[in-house]
Structure 1
């Protein structure tokens, strides 16, 4: 429920900034940089796309300003593989820190635990 309310508030703020229709909706999904095609990697393509969908009553300069901001926002959502991996590992570590230790040990197979314990003993020697 909270996420729905937050998205509604963001949409209202974006409409107040001049965005319309689907451009007022804001999603902060992260995308892999490899998935970004050449056509959409060009910020001008996003500006043109927004302009081609602009209501007739919008001033060209306002549409251009919004298009540039929209392009920057969209392109910032694409991250390289190294960033994806770093964020994944950090997220897993944060999640593991919140979980019960006994529960984690139950979820990990015994062989993996024994191998890890043996590696610790080797390091200690």
Structure 2
């Protein structure tokens, strides 16, 4: 997304809630600890923490920093999402470090959620 006219740090912050949502099932305990350390934990028990709660809390955190948290807020259109997903699949370094296997259709779903 760095070639779309906004800083990579903004792109990372914007996508954080949605990538966390995607990875939640394999990273729930770690996300619980991170949210607790940041003072953002919406519940007291990891067993009841949901992907939606985590995404929403992180969206609020990003917004609180004065950063956009939707792709449409930075000028991305719905029609460009498939191209973004295809481009993302060519960044093997990042894909290889993701805790969960990601397909192009997964990437598209993440971008659609972030739209």
Q: Which structure has more RCO (C-alpha within 8 Å, separation ≥ 6)?
A: 2
Same fold (TM over 0.5): no
TM-score (norm 1): 0.28
The structure number with the bigger radius of gyration is 1
